[in-house]
Chain A
Amino acid sequence: MKPRAIGKRRPYVRPMAGWWRKNPYFVEYMIHEGSAFFVAAYALVLLVGLLRLSQGEAAWNGWLFALHSPLSIAGHLLLLAAMLYHAWTWFNIMPITLPPIFVAGKRLSASAITAGGVAATVLASVILLLVVWRLTS
Protein backbone atom coordinates (compact mmCIF):
# COMPACT_ATOMS: atom_id res chain seq x y z
CA MET A 1 0.00 0.00 0.00
CA LYS A 2 1.27 3.45 -0.88
CA PRO A 3 1.75 5.79 2.05
CA ARG A 4 -1.09 8.33 2.22
CA ALA A 5 1.25 11.29 2.28
CA ILE A 6 2.31 10.63 -1.29
CA GLY A 7 -0.86 12.27 -2.60
CA LYS A 8 -0.03 15.49 -0.79
CA ARG A 9 3.31 15.95 -2.52
CA ARG A 10 3.36 19.29 -4.26
CA PRO A 11 7.01 20.29 -4.76
CA TYR A 12 7.40 24.05 -5.06
CA VAL A 13 9.76 25.40 -7.70
CA ARG A 14 11.06 28.85 -6.88
CA PRO A 15 11.30 31.38 -9.72
CA MET A 16 14.74 32.36 -11.06
CA ALA A 17 13.76 35.89 -12.11
CA GLY A 18 16.32 38.42 -10.87
CA TRP A 19 18.64 35.65 -9.64
CA TRP A 20 21.76 37.72 -10.16
CA ARG A 21 20.60 40.46 -7.79
CA LYS A 22 20.17 38.04 -4.90
CA ASN A 23 23.84 37.51 -4.10
CA PRO A 24 26.75 40.00 -4.23
CA TYR A 25 28.87 37.28 -5.85
CA PHE A 26 26.44 37.07 -8.77
CA VAL A 27 26.25 40.88 -9.05
CA GLU A 28 30.04 40.98 -9.39
CA TYR A 29 29.85 38.14 -11.92
CA MET A 30 27.39 40.10 -14.06
CA ILE A 31 29.56 43.22 -13.82
CA HIS A 32 32.76 41.45 -14.84
CA GLU A 33 30.99 39.59 -17.64
CA GLY A 34 29.40 42.89 -18.67
CA SER A 35 32.82 44.54 -18.79
CA ALA A 36 33.46 42.41 -21.91
CA PHE A 37 31.24 44.91 -23.76
CA PHE A 38 33.88 47.57 -23.13
CA VAL A 39 36.50 45.31 -24.67
CA ALA A 40 34.24 44.89 -27.71
CA ALA A 41 33.64 48.67 -27.79
CA TYR A 42 37.37 49.35 -27.98
CA ALA A 43 37.75 46.77 -30.73
CA LEU A 44 35.07 48.73 -32.63
CA VAL A 45 36.98 52.00 -32.12
CA LEU A 46 40.09 50.38 -33.63
CA LEU A 47 38.08 48.83 -36.47
CA VAL A 48 36.63 52.22 -37.34
CA GLY A 49 40.22 53.51 -37.42
CA LEU A 50 41.15 50.75 -39.84
CA LEU A 51 38.14 51.58 -42.01
CA ARG A 52 39.07 55.29 -42.05
CA LEU A 53 42.65 54.38 -42.96
CA SER A 54 41.40 52.47 -45.98
CA GLN A 55 39.42 55.54 -47.06
CA GLY A 56 42.48 57.73 -47.52
CA GLU A 57 44.59 60.27 -45.67
CA ALA A 58 41.88 62.84 -44.97
CA ALA A 59 39.59 60.24 -43.43
CA TRP A 60 42.44 58.86 -41.33
CA ASN A 61 43.43 62.33 -40.08
CA GLY A 62 39.80 63.03 -39.27
CA TRP A 63 39.70 59.89 -37.13
CA LEU A 64 42.95 60.86 -35.38
CA PHE A 65 41.56 64.33 -34.73
CA ALA A 66 38.35 62.89 -33.29
CA LEU A 67 40.44 60.81 -30.86
CA HIS A 68 41.88 64.02 -29.40
CA SER A 69 38.52 65.41 -28.32
CA PRO A 70 37.92 65.60 -24.54
CA LEU A 71 34.93 63.27 -24.95
CA SER A 72 37.12 60.68 -26.67
CA ILE A 73 39.81 60.96 -23.99
CA ALA A 74 37.24 60.56 -21.22
CA GLY A 75 35.78 57.59 -23.11
CA HIS A 76 39.21 56.01 -23.46
CA LEU A 77 39.89 56.42 -19.74
CA LEU A 78 36.59 54.67 -19.02
CA LEU A 79 37.49 51.92 -21.50
CA LEU A 80 40.92 51.53 -19.91
CA ALA A 81 39.45 51.22 -16.42
CA ALA A 82 36.85 48.68 -17.60
CA MET A 83 39.45 46.64 -19.47
CA LEU A 84 41.83 46.59 -16.51
CA TYR A 85 38.96 45.35 -14.35
CA HIS A 86 37.99 42.80 -16.98
CA ALA A 87 41.58 41.55 -17.18
CA TRP A 88 41.88 41.30 -13.42
CA THR A 89 38.66 39.26 -13.06
CA TRP A 90 39.70 37.12 -16.02
CA PHE A 91 42.94 36.14 -14.32
CA ASN A 92 41.09 35.72 -11.06
CA ILE A 93 38.91 32.97 -12.56
CA MET A 94 41.83 31.43 -14.47
CA PRO A 95 42.89 28.98 -11.70
CA ILE A 96 39.45 27.33 -11.91
CA THR A 97 39.82 26.75 -15.62
CA LEU A 98 43.30 25.17 -15.65
CA PRO A 99 44.28 21.59 -14.96
CA PRO A 100 46.61 21.24 -11.97
CA ILE A 101 50.10 22.54 -12.71
CA PHE A 102 52.95 20.96 -10.79
CA VAL A 103 56.21 22.81 -10.25
CA ALA A 104 58.94 20.83 -8.51
CA GLY A 105 56.42 18.28 -7.31
CA LYS A 106 54.13 20.87 -5.71
CA ARG A 107 50.81 22.07 -7.08
CA LEU A 108 50.86 25.70 -8.16
CA SER A 109 48.46 27.70 -5.97
CA ALA A 110 45.51 29.66 -7.35
CA SER A 111 47.06 32.96 -6.31
CA ALA A 112 50.33 32.07 -8.08
CA ILE A 113 48.41 31.36 -11.32
CA THR A 114 46.54 34.67 -11.06
CA ALA A 115 49.76 36.54 -10.25
CA GLY A 116 51.48 34.84 -13.19
CA GLY A 117 48.73 35.95 -15.56
CA VAL A 118 48.82 39.53 -14.30
CA ALA A 119 52.62 39.59 -14.52
CA ALA A 120 52.51 38.30 -18.12
CA THR A 121 49.99 41.03 -19.02
CA VAL A 122 52.08 43.77 -17.42
CA LEU A 123 55.23 42.48 -19.18
CA ALA A 124 53.50 42.25 -22.58
CA SER A 125 52.01 45.74 -22.16
CA VAL A 126 55.37 47.27 -21.21
CA ILE A 127 57.11 45.61 -24.19
CA LEU A 128 54.35 46.83 -26.53
CA LEU A 129 54.58 50.36 -25.14
CA LEU A 130 58.37 50.39 -25.58
CA VAL A 131 58.11 49.13 -29.17
CA VAL A 132 55.48 51.73 -30.06
CA TRP A 133 57.54 54.42 -28.30
CA ARG A 134 60.63 53.46 -30.33
CA LEU A 135 58.71 53.38 -33.62
CA THR A 136 57.02 56.74 -33.13
CA SER A 137 59.85 58.80 -31.61
Chain B
Amino acid sequence: MVLPARRQNRKESRPAMSEIEKTIPIEVLRYRPEQDTEPVLQTFQVPFTDDMSVLQGLQYIKDYLDGSLSFRWSCRMAICGSCGMMVNGIPSLSCKTFLSDYYPAGLRIEALAHFPIERDLVIVMDDFIEKLESIKPYIIPKTPRALSEGEYLQTPAERDVYEQFSSCINCMLCYAACPQYGLNSKFVGPGIMALLHRYNMDSRDGGAEQRMELVHSEDGVFNCTAVGYCSEVCPKHVDPGNAVNINKTESAKDYFLRFVMPKGSNSGAAK
Protein backbone atom coordinates (compact mmCIF):
# COMPACT_ATOMS: atom_id res chain seq x y z
CA MET B 1 0.00 0.00 0.00
CA VAL B 2 1.28 3.44 -0.91
CA LEU B 3 0.83 6.10 1.74
CA PRO B 4 -0.89 9.27 0.60
CA ALA B 5 1.60 11.91 -0.44
CA ARG B 6 0.60 14.21 2.39
CA ARG B 7 1.46 11.69 5.05
CA GLN B 8 4.75 10.82 3.39
CA ASN B 9 5.66 14.48 3.34
CA ARG B 10 4.75 14.89 6.96
CA LYS B 11 7.01 12.04 7.95
CA GLU B 12 9.90 13.63 6.14
CA SER B 13 9.32 17.14 7.45
CA ARG B 14 9.08 16.02 11.09
CA PRO B 15 12.19 16.38 13.23
CA ALA B 16 13.96 13.08 13.24
CA MET B 17 12.28 11.55 16.28
CA SER B 18 15.06 9.03 16.71
CA GLU B 19 17.38 11.90 17.61
CA ILE B 20 15.13 13.04 20.44
CA GLU B 21 16.26 11.49 23.70
CA LYS B 22 13.32 12.24 25.96
CA THR B 23 10.44 9.79 25.89
CA ILE B 24 7.27 9.81 27.93
CA PRO B 25 4.92 6.91 28.69
CA ILE B 26 1.41 7.61 27.44
CA GLU B 27 -1.31 5.28 28.65
CA VAL B 28 -4.29 5.27 26.33
CA LEU B 29 -7.66 3.75 27.10
CA ARG B 30 -8.31 1.61 24.03
CA TYR B 31 -11.68 0.27 23.01
CA ARG B 32 -12.04 -1.62 19.76
CA PRO B 33 -15.62 -2.92 19.74
CA GLU B 34 -14.77 -5.74 17.31
CA GLN B 35 -12.20 -7.24 19.70
CA ASP B 36 -12.55 -5.70 23.20
CA THR B 37 -15.43 -6.53 25.51
CA GLU B 38 -14.47 -3.52 27.62
CA PRO B 39 -11.89 -0.71 27.37
CA VAL B 40 -8.28 -1.67 28.12
CA LEU B 41 -5.21 0.45 28.84
CA GLN B 42 -2.28 0.36 26.46
CA THR B 43 1.01 2.12 27.11
CA PHE B 44 3.14 3.74 24.41
CA GLN B 45 6.61 5.21 24.83
CA VAL B 46 6.52 8.46 22.92
CA PRO B 47 9.57 10.58 22.13
CA PHE B 48 8.74 14.23 22.59
CA THR B 49 9.98 17.78 22.56
CA ASP B 50 8.90 20.41 25.09
CA ASP B 51 6.61 22.17 22.61
CA MET B 52 4.57 19.03 21.86
CA SER B 53 0.92 18.91 22.85
CA VAL B 54 -0.83 15.77 24.07
CA LEU B 55 -2.58 15.72 20.68
CA GLN B 56 0.77 15.64 18.93
CA GLY B 57 1.73 12.74 21.18
CA LEU B 58 -1.35 10.87 19.98
CA GLN B 59 -0.54 11.75 16.39
CA TYR B 60 2.93 10.32 16.90
CA ILE B 61 1.41 7.07 18.18
CA LYS B 62 -0.95 6.90 15.21
CA ASP B 63 1.76 7.69 12.65
CA TYR B 64 4.58 5.56 14.02
CA LEU B 65 3.41 3.09 16.66
CA ASP B 66 -0.17 1.98 16.09
CA GLY B 67 -2.18 3.25 13.14
CA SER B 68 -5.40 1.80 14.54
CA LEU B 69 -5.64 4.38 17.36
CA SER B 70 -8.75 6.51 16.86
CA PHE B 71 -9.28 10.06 18.10
CA ARG B 72 -10.93 13.25 16.90
CA TRP B 73 -9.02 16.40 16.13
CA SER B 74 -9.01 19.22 13.68
CA CYS B 75 -7.67 22.73 14.30
CA ARG B 76 -4.84 22.10 16.81
CA MET B 77 -5.41 25.51 18.39
CA ALA B 78 -8.38 25.32 20.77
CA ILE B 79 -10.90 26.68 18.30
CA CYS B 80 -12.71 23.67 16.86
CA GLY B 81 -13.52 21.79 20.07
CA SER B 82 -12.87 18.35 18.55
CA CYS B 83 -10.02 16.99 20.64
CA GLY B 84 -11.53 16.93 24.13
CA MET B 85 -10.41 13.97 26.23
CA MET B 86 -9.60 13.03 29.80
CA VAL B 87 -5.94 13.71 30.58
CA ASN B 88 -5.10 12.16 33.95
CA GLY B 89 -8.80 12.25 34.73
CA ILE B 90 -9.26 15.94 33.91
CA PRO B 91 -11.41 16.99 30.95
CA SER B 92 -8.94 18.77 28.64
CA LEU B 93 -8.44 19.87 25.06
CA SER B 94 -5.51 17.68 24.05
CA CYS B 95 -4.19 20.42 21.74
CA LYS B 96 -4.01 22.82 24.69
CA THR B 97 -2.34 20.37 27.08
CA PHE B 98 1.40 19.77 26.91
CA LEU B 99 3.36 16.54 27.31
CA SER B 100 6.23 18.26 29.11
CA ASP B 101 3.90 19.03 32.04
CA TYR B 102 3.59 15.27 32.65
CA TYR B 103 7.25 14.39 32.31
CA PRO B 104 8.69 12.07 33.55
CA ALA B 105 5.76 10.32 35.26
CA GLY B 106 3.71 10.08 32.09
CA LEU B 107 -0.01 10.52 31.57
CA ARG B 108 -3.20 8.59 31.03
CA ILE B 109 -5.57 9.55 28.25
CA GLU B 110 -9.19 8.39 28.16
CA ALA B 111 -12.24 9.26 26.13
CA LEU B 112 -14.33 12.13 27.52
CA ALA B 113 -16.12 10.93 30.64
CA HIS B 114 -19.91 10.51 30.82
CA PHE B 115 -20.28 9.79 27.09
CA PRO B 116 -20.47 6.30 25.57
CA ILE B 117 -17.20 5.29 23.87
CA GLU B 118 -17.57 4.61 20.15
CA ARG B 119 -13.94 3.56 19.70
CA ASP B 120 -10.75 4.39 21.61
CA LEU B 121 -10.91 8.13 22.33
CA VAL B 122 -13.93 8.77 20.11
CA ILE B 123 -17.18 9.30 21.99
CA VAL B 124 -20.79 9.04 20.85
CA MET B 125 -22.00 12.63 20.77
CA ASP B 126 -25.50 12.07 19.35
CA ASP B 127 -27.08 13.13 22.64
CA PHE B 128 -25.22 16.43 22.64
CA ILE B 129 -26.10 17.18 19.01
CA GLU B 130 -29.78 16.41 19.60
CA LYS B 131 -29.85 18.74 22.59
CA LEU B 132 -28.05 21.38 20.59
CA GLU B 133 -30.78 21.28 17.94
CA SER B 134 -33.55 21.20 20.53
CA ILE B 135 -32.76 24.65 21.98
CA LYS B 136 -33.10 26.43 18.61
CA PRO B 137 -29.59 27.88 18.66
CA TYR B 138 -30.33 30.75 16.32
CA ILE B 139 -31.98 34.13 16.55
CA ILE B 140 -35.76 33.91 16.44
CA PRO B 141 -37.01 37.38 15.47
CA LYS B 142 -39.53 39.03 17.77
CA THR B 143 -41.61 40.03 14.74
CA PRO B 144 -41.18 38.98 11.12
CA ARG B 145 -38.78 41.34 9.45
CA ALA B 146 -38.33 42.06 5.77
CA LEU B 147 -34.88 42.08 4.26
CA SER B 148 -35.49 45.65 3.13
CA GLU B 149 -35.66 46.76 6.77
CA GLY B 150 -31.94 46.21 6.99
CA GLU B 151 -29.77 44.67 9.68
CA TYR B 152 -30.53 44.46 13.38
CA LEU B 153 -28.70 47.02 15.42
CA GLN B 154 -27.17 46.22 18.78
CA THR B 155 -25.19 48.38 21.16
CA PRO B 156 -21.92 47.13 22.69
CA ALA B 157 -23.68 47.05 26.07
CA GLU B 158 -26.42 44.79 24.65
CA ARG B 159 -23.74 42.53 23.18
CA ASP B 160 -21.81 42.34 26.46
CA VAL B 161 -24.81 40.68 28.12
CA TYR B 162 -24.36 37.45 26.13
CA GLU B 163 -20.91 37.64 24.58
CA GLN B 164 -19.21 35.40 27.13
CA PHE B 165 -21.75 32.63 26.50
CA SER B 166 -21.24 32.87 22.75
CA SER B 167 -17.62 31.75 23.09
CA CYS B 168 -18.63 28.10 23.46
CA ILE B 169 -16.87 25.80 20.99
CA ASN B 170 -19.03 22.73 21.76
CA CYS B 171 -16.03 20.77 23.03
CA MET B 172 -18.17 19.01 25.66
CA LEU B 173 -15.51 19.23 28.38
CA CYS B 174 -18.20 20.65 30.68
CA TYR B 175 -20.30 17.51 30.17
CA ALA B 176 -17.31 15.35 31.09
CA ALA B 177 -16.98 17.54 34.20
CA CYS B 178 -20.64 17.27 35.21
CA PRO B 179 -21.41 14.28 37.46
CA GLN B 180 -25.13 15.07 37.24
CA TYR B 181 -24.99 14.56 33.48
CA GLY B 182 -23.01 11.36 34.03
CA LEU B 183 -25.68 10.08 36.41
CA ASN B 184 -28.62 11.22 34.29
CA SER B 185 -27.90 11.92 30.64
CA LYS B 186 -31.38 13.36 30.16
CA PHE B 187 -30.17 16.50 31.94
CA VAL B 188 -29.78 19.20 29.30
CA GLY B 189 -26.33 19.94 30.74
CA PRO B 190 -24.02 22.95 31.07
CA GLY B 191 -22.81 23.70 27.52
CA ILE B 192 -26.24 23.61 25.91
CA MET B 193 -27.67 25.74 28.72
CA ALA B 194 -24.93 28.30 28.10
CA LEU B 195 -25.90 28.44 24.44
CA LEU B 196 -29.60 28.63 25.27
CA HIS B 197 -28.83 31.51 27.61
CA ARG B 198 -26.73 33.19 24.94
CA TYR B 199 -29.75 33.41 22.61
CA ASN B 200 -32.25 34.25 25.33
CA MET B 201 -30.09 37.19 26.38
CA ASP B 202 -29.68 38.52 22.84
CA SER B 203 -31.56 41.79 22.34
CA ARG B 204 -32.42 40.73 18.77
CA ASP B 205 -34.04 37.49 19.87
CA GLY B 206 -37.65 36.79 20.73
CA GLY B 207 -37.52 33.03 21.27
CA ALA B 208 -36.94 32.94 25.02
CA GLU B 209 -40.44 31.75 25.82
CA GLN B 210 -40.05 28.69 23.58
CA ARG B 211 -36.66 27.83 25.04
CA MET B 212 -37.74 28.30 28.66
CA GLU B 213 -39.95 25.22 28.44
CA LEU B 214 -36.83 23.08 28.39
CA VAL B 215 -35.31 25.10 31.24
CA HIS B 216 -38.36 24.44 33.44
CA SER B 217 -38.71 20.79 32.47
CA GLU B 218 -37.77 17.63 34.34
CA ASP B 219 -34.57 17.52 32.27
CA GLY B 220 -33.89 21.21 32.85
CA VAL B 221 -31.75 23.33 35.14
CA PHE B 222 -32.83 21.88 38.47
CA ASN B 223 -30.77 18.75 37.82
CA CYS B 224 -27.75 20.96 38.54
CA THR B 225 -26.39 20.81 42.09
CA ALA B 226 -23.83 23.59 41.57
CA VAL B 227 -20.76 21.36 41.54
CA GLY B 228 -19.14 24.11 39.47
CA TYR B 229 -16.51 21.93 37.80
CA CYS B 230 -18.02 22.66 34.36
CA SER B 231 -16.93 26.29 34.61
CA GLU B 232 -13.56 25.24 35.97
CA VAL B 233 -12.65 23.08 32.95
CA CYS B 234 -14.12 25.33 30.23
CA PRO B 235 -11.23 26.23 27.90
CA LYS B 236 -13.03 29.36 26.64
CA HIS B 237 -14.11 30.85 30.02
CA VAL B 238 -17.77 30.58 29.09
CA ASP B 239 -18.78 29.83 32.69
CA PRO B 240 -21.61 27.44 31.74
CA GLY B 241 -22.37 26.85 35.43
CA ASN B 242 -23.33 30.51 35.65
CA ALA B 243 -25.77 30.14 32.72
CA VAL B 244 -27.41 27.12 34.37
CA ASN B 245 -27.75 28.82 37.74
CA ILE B 246 -29.01 32.16 36.39
CA ASN B 247 -31.73 30.13 34.69
CA LYS B 248 -32.70 28.46 37.96
CA THR B 249 -33.59 31.95 39.16
CA GLU B 250 -35.33 32.74 35.85
CA SER B 251 -37.31 29.51 36.05
CA ALA B 252 -38.34 30.16 39.65
CA LYS B 253 -39.34 33.72 38.71
CA ASP B 254 -41.49 32.43 35.85
CA TYR B 255 -43.09 29.86 38.14
CA PHE B 256 -44.13 32.39 40.77
CA LEU B 257 -44.96 35.19 38.36
CA ARG B 258 -47.65 33.11 36.68
CA PHE B 259 -49.71 33.45 39.85
CA VAL B 260 -49.68 37.23 39.69
CA MET B 261 -49.65 37.81 35.94
CA PRO B 262 -53.05 38.10 34.27
CA LYS B 263 -53.92 35.17 32.04
CA GLY B 264 -53.02 35.53 28.41
CA SER B 265 -50.38 38.17 29.08
CA ASN B 266 -47.21 37.74 27.09
CA SER B 267 -45.07 37.31 30.17
CA GLY B 268 -43.09 34.21 29.28
CA ALA B 269 -44.60 32.51 32.30
CA ALA B 270 -44.28 28.78 32.86
CA LYS B 271 -46.71 26.60 31.07
Chain B residue at smallest Cβ distance from A10:
B33
Chain B residues closer than 8 Å to A33, beta-carbon distance: 225
Q: Is B228 an interface residue (CB 8 A)?
A: yes
Task: Give the A interface residue count (CB, 8 A).
Answer: 23
A68 at the interface (CB under 8 A from B): no
CA distance A19 to B161 in the complex (A): 35
The yes or no answer to A71 lying at the interface (CB within 8 A) is no
Q: Is B217 an interface residue (CB 8 A)?
A: no
Q: Contact between A12 and B90 (Cβ–Cβ < 8 Å)?
A: no
CA A8 to CA B33, docked complex, whole Å: 7
* B118: A residues at CB distance < 8 A: 9, 11
Q: Which of A1-26 contact B (CB under 8 A)?
A: 8-14, 16, 19-20, 22-23, 25-26
B38 within 8 A of A: yes
Number of inter-chain CB pairs below 8 Å: 65
- Min distance, Cβ B197 to any Cβ of chain A, angstroms: 10
Chain A min CB distance to B144 (Å): 30
- Roughly how many angstroms separate A93 CA and B228 CA in the complex, as a whole number? 7
Cα–Cα distance between A96 and B231 once the two chains are bound (Å):
8
**Interface assignment of B146: CB less than 8 Å from any CB of chain A:** no
B134 to chain A, nearest CB (A): 21
- Asked if A25 and B229 make an inter-chain contact with CB atoms under 8 angstroms apart, the answer reads yes
Check B179 for interface membership: any CB of A closer than 8 A.
yes
Within 8 A of A (CB), among B122-144: 124
Q: Is B89 an interface residue (CB 8 A)?
A: yes
Contact B245 A96, beta carbon cutoff 8 Å: yes
Residue of A nearest to B249 (CB): A99
* B113/A14 in contact, CB under 8 A: yes
Determine the chain B residues whose CB is within 8 A of the CB of A97 once the complex forms: 226, 242, 245-246, 248
Q: A12-B33, A96-B241, A97-B245 are in contact. Are A26 and B229 (CB under 8 A)?
A: yes
Given A11-B124, A12-B117, the answer on whether A20 and B179 have CB atoms closer than 8 Å is: yes
Compute how far the CA of A29 lies from the CA of B226 in the bound complex, rounded to whole angstroms: 9
Q: Are B227 and A26 in contact (CB under 8 A)?
A: yes
9 contacts between A and B (CB under 8 A): A8-B34, A11-B33, A14-B114, A19-B183, A23-B90, A96-B239, A96-B242, A99-B249, A100-B161
Interface residues of B (CB under 8 A from A): 31, 33-34, 38-39, 89-90, 113-114, 116-118, 124, 161, 179, 182-183, 225-229, 231-232, 239, 241-242, 245-246, 248-249
Apart from A9-B33, A22-B89, 10 more pairs, CB < 8 Å: A8-B34, A12-B31, A13-B116, A14-B39, A16-B183, A29-B228, A29-B229, A93-B228, A95-B242, A98-B245
